């Protein structure tokens, strides 16, 4: 599916992310795999300061702000574009990023997720920071929501979170 702006209503623009957050957004796009349009505002001004991945039907936004800031803008951007929106949160005081997700076809928001990587050669996941919830597999065709955890036990969960944090810490240094 190619992005086509189909709703005609005003959307507050996403604020420009800091450099650190921009690096995290690019690293997230690298995990998704595929073509990244770093200037989607050429097609639609409502998508400024985001990364557009048409093949995955995904819009990646970023902020250094804490929740709930940017959630309203993400929900509006998802409704306006018909795309899933992934918010990358990169606080300067935290060693890694957290993620919020708005699926285009679902009303719920998935908030406070961390990147989990089983191995560098396998698909990454977004897993909830606490409790049991839905798990999100990151693929080149988009984000898949699952009810079952991708890990067998707490030790495997911890190792995958460490791998995800290491990947993102490299990104923050601008190595991608």
Q: What is the pTM of this model?
A: 0.90
Closest to 30 in 3D by CA, of 80, 88, 83: 88
Q: Which of 1-5, 29-33, 132-136, 153-157 has the lowest mean pLDDT?
A: 1-5
Beta bridge partners of 126: 115, 136
Sheet holding 125-128, edge to edge: 51-53, 58-63, 84-89, 98-102, 109-116, 125-128, 135-139, 142-146
- How many residues appear in the chain? 176
The DSSP secondary structure of 35-73, one letter per residue, reads --BS-GGGT-GGGTTSEEETTTTEEEEEESSPTTTTHHH
Q: Is the pLDDT of residue 67 over 80?
A: yes
Q: What is the pLDDT of residues 77-111, one digit of tens each?
A: 888 889 999 999 997 777 689 999 999 988 889 99
Q: Where are the domains of the chain?
A: 19-172
């Amino acid at each position: 599916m190619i992005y086509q702006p189909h709703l005609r209503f005003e959307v507050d623009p996403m604020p420009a992310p800091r450099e650190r957050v921009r690096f995290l957004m690019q690293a997230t796009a690298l995990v998704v795999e595929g073509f990244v349009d770093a200037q989607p505002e050429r097609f639609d001004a409502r998508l400024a300061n985001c990364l557009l991945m048409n093949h995955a039907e995904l819009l990646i936004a970023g902020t250094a702000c804490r929740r709930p800031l940017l959630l309203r803008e993400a929900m509006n951007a998802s409704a306006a574009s018909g795309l899933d929106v992934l918010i990358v949160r990169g606080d300067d005081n935290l060693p890694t990023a957290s993620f919020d997700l708005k699926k285009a076809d679902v009303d719920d928001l998935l908030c406070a997720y961390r990147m989990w990587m089983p191995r560098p050669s396998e698909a990454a996941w977004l897993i909830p920071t606490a409790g049991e919830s839905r798990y999100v597999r990151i693929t080149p065709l988009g984000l898949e929501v699952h009810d079952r955890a991708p890990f067998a036990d707490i030790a495997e969960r911890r190792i995958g979170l460490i791998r995800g944090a290491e990947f993102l810490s490299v990104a923050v240094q601008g190595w991608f």
